């Protein structure tokens, strides 16, 4: 009889501990700050003006800088391509360089785009 009561107490204690530990779990913080990036990519494919998209992405980039968060992969590359479409050639290369700095795995593609943008400028 005594062992049955001890087993029930042990089971109840284990269940209580699991409930308490589950309640302490915190939500995992996102690695990147997405803001309006995904909707802007969608708007790009729908044909929205590059200037409108640039304004939205620049606003979000300032917000991310203020919060100390990192933009997602492709953010600076997309912004650079929008600058190229808008004819703002002087702002293209800094965006591609920023993408390379944040995401070194994109270096080959960013170098390709940088070469291509320099040929277009000439």
Instruction: Give pLDDT tens digits for 73-86.
Output: 999 999 999 999 99
Residue 28 has pLDDT above 70, yes or no: no
Hey, what long-range contacts does 83-90 have (CB within 8 A, 24 or more apart)? Answer: 83/50, 83/54, 84/117, 84/120, 85/50, 86/50, 86/51, 86/54, 88/54, 89/117, 89/120, 89/121
Q: Is the pTM of this model over 0.95?
A: no
Instruction: In whole angstroms, give the CA distance from residue 25 to residue 86.
Output: 46
In the chain, the domains with their CATH numbers are 37-121 (1.25.40)
Length of the chain as a residue count:
122
pLDDT over 70 percentage in the chain: 74
The closest of 42, 61, 120, 41 to 88, measured between CA atoms, is: 120
Q: What is the pLDDT of residues 100-118, one digit of tens each?
A: 999 999 999 999 999 987 7
């Amino acid at each position: 009889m005594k062992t049955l009561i001890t087993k029930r107490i042990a089971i109840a204690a284990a269940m209580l501990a699991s409930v308490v530990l589950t309640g302490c779990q915190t939500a995992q913080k996102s690695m990147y700050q997405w803001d309006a990036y995904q909707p802007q990519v969608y708007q790009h494919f729908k044909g929205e003006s590059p200037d409108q998209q640039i304004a939205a992405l620049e606003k979000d980039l300032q917000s991310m800088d203020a919060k100390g968060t990192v933009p997602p992969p492709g953010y600076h590359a997309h912004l650079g391509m929008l600058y190229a479409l808008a004819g703002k050639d002087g702002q293209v290369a800094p965006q591609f360089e920023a993408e390379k700095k944040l995401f070194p795995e994109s270096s080959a593609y960013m170098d390709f785009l940088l070469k291509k943008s320099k040929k277009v400028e000439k």
